[in-house]
Amino acid sequence: MNLATSSTGPVRATMDDVARHSGVSLKSVSRVINGEPHVSATLRAKVEAAIAELKYVPDAAARSLAGSRTFIIGLLLDNPSPNYTMKVQKGVYDAVRAHQYHLRIDNVDSSVPDDEFSAQLEALVRNSRCDGFVLTPPLSDNLLLLDFLDQSGIRYVRIAPALEKSRGSGIVIDDAAAAAAMARHLWDLGHRRYAIMRGPTAHMAAARRRDGFIEELKRLGLEHPVIEIDAGFSFEGGIRAGDSLLASGLRPTAIFAGNDDSAAGVMAACSKAGLKVPDDISVCGFDDSWIARSVWPYLTTVYQPIEEMGHAAASLLLRRDEPESALHRLDFHLVVRDSTAPPPQA
């Protein structure tokens, strides 16, 4: 009963079959498949007819063995936020499939010692090549990784790079400007006492957000210093940071968190402390990821087109005519929801 199901399935046509069926040479079929020039319309039509009739599909393994392409794009992952990661992955996936490519996932752990990290990379790359990697933060700013890829001659595109932006290509938004926009939003509401929840130190884009936020406030005329606390990029980190902030007795009227996950944590800490968001205190995040609408009140945040960024990164990788290095800047915008409001009357 299972003999049938354990077979290889229906026999697939090969390029040879197509060649015979259409009465042309193997090489001509290959030319048609790969859209090479110097093919007469007649020949092309014949071949395409045969391909359709035989339901021929090129074999990926044979192609990559003989040729120089693997038809695989690798997505390098090391991000703590499932929301962010899934969005990037979706964008990369769609772009890759649109080009008949496949998406391979490669997790790495960049928190280990350097030599161990290098060993991870070696193992990944050595045993199966791909036509390029999409790098997600914080890996986009991992110099060890960049060096490795450059030395190996492997193409890559970085999502949200903040360091050495001329290496490889990159897809970014203007993190500093986005944070500045958030600063203006809070300022306009009347806030004058701020706290900021910093992201992980390896995440350079997080640092840009912090800088952009504080600079803008200074320009607006802020007098009090901004309280700064490390919150990582996780809900847990946010709740811890929120707890310690509120326990300290310092009372900002607005808190800017480096991403939505930590913002949600801060909101939870406020609830615990008996503070109502946004009546008693305003909280805002960054990303407009899925969690921004998974909390109550809905989070005021910065929308960044994460899925599109993944899509753009992969598309760039798939265009072989792309210039060696280019930075593509996508648009962000403020999303004002319910977690920010004017400060309470003193």
Partner DNA sequence: TTGTAAGCGTTATCAC
Partner DNA sequence: GTGATAACGCTTACAA
Residue with tokens 């360091």: 163
CB of 62 to its own copies, least distance (A): 5
CB of 164 to its own copies, least distance (A): 14
CA distances from 97 to 67, 70, 268, 288 (A): 20, 14, 40, 26
Q: Are 251 and 191 in contact (CB under 8 A)?
A: no
Residue 102, contacted partner among its own copies, DNA, none, CB below 5-8 A by kind: its own copies
102 is an interface residue for its own copies by CB under 8 A: yes
Closest CA to 260 of 278, 233, 281, 229: 233
171 is an interface residue for its own copies by CB under 8 A: no
DSSP 57: -
Q: Which residues bind DNA (CB under 7 A)?
A: 12, 14-16, 24-28, 30-31, 33-34, 37-40, 42-44, 56-59, 62-63, 65-69
Site for its own copies in 229-248 (CB under 8 A): 235-236, 239
How far is 135 from 345, CA to CA, in rounded Å?
46
CB of 173 to its own copies, least distance (A): 21
Indicate the angle between helix axes 260-272 and 235-247, nearest 10 degrees.
40
Q: Is 73 helix (H, G, I), strand (E, B) or coil?
A: strand
Residue 30, contacted partner among DNA, its own copies, none, CB below 5-8 A by kind: DNA
**79 vs 140, which CB is nearer to its own copies?**
79
Please compute Rg for the chain using Cα positions.
Answer: 26
CB of 35 to DNA, least distance (A): 10
Q: Are 112 and 292 in contact (CB under 8 A)?
A: no
Residue 345, contacted partner among its own copies, DNA, none, CB below 5-8 A by kind: none
User: In degrees to the nearest 10, what's the CA dihedral of 322, 325, 331, 332?
Assistant: 140
Q: How many other β-carbons are positioned within 10 Å of the β-carbon of residue 328?
A: 14
**40 vs 345, which CB is nearer to DNA?**
40
Q: Are 290 and 73 in contact (CB under 8 A)?
A: no
Record the tokens describing residue 128, joined without a space: 């199966």
Chosen residue from 35, 40, 42, 65 binding its own copies by CB under 8 A: 65
Q: What string marks each residue from 115 to 134 as x (binds its own copies by CB under 8 A) or -? A: -----------xxxx-----
Residue 40, contacted partner among its own copies, DNA, none, CB below 5-8 A by kind: DNA
Closest CA to 266 of 301, 231, 317, 318: 231
Can you name the residues that pair with 72 across neighbouring β-strands? 102
How far is 117 from 125, CA to CA, in rounded Å?
13
Chosen residue from 44, 184, 193, 293 binding its own copies by CB under 8 A: 293
Residue 172, contacted partner among DNA, its own copies, none, CB below 5-8 A by kind: none
Record the tokens describing residue 158, joined without a space: 């970085």
Chosen residue from 205, 291, 309, 318 binding its own copies by CB under 8 A: 291
Site for its own copies in 296-325 (CB under 8 A): 296, 324-325
Binding residues for its own copies, rule: CB under 8 A, are 2, 4-10, 12, 55, 57-62, 64-65, 68, 70-71, 82-83, 85-87, 89-90, 93, 100, 102-105, 107, 126-129, 150-155, 235-236, 239, 261, 264-265, 267-268, 271-272, 290-291, 293-296, 324-325
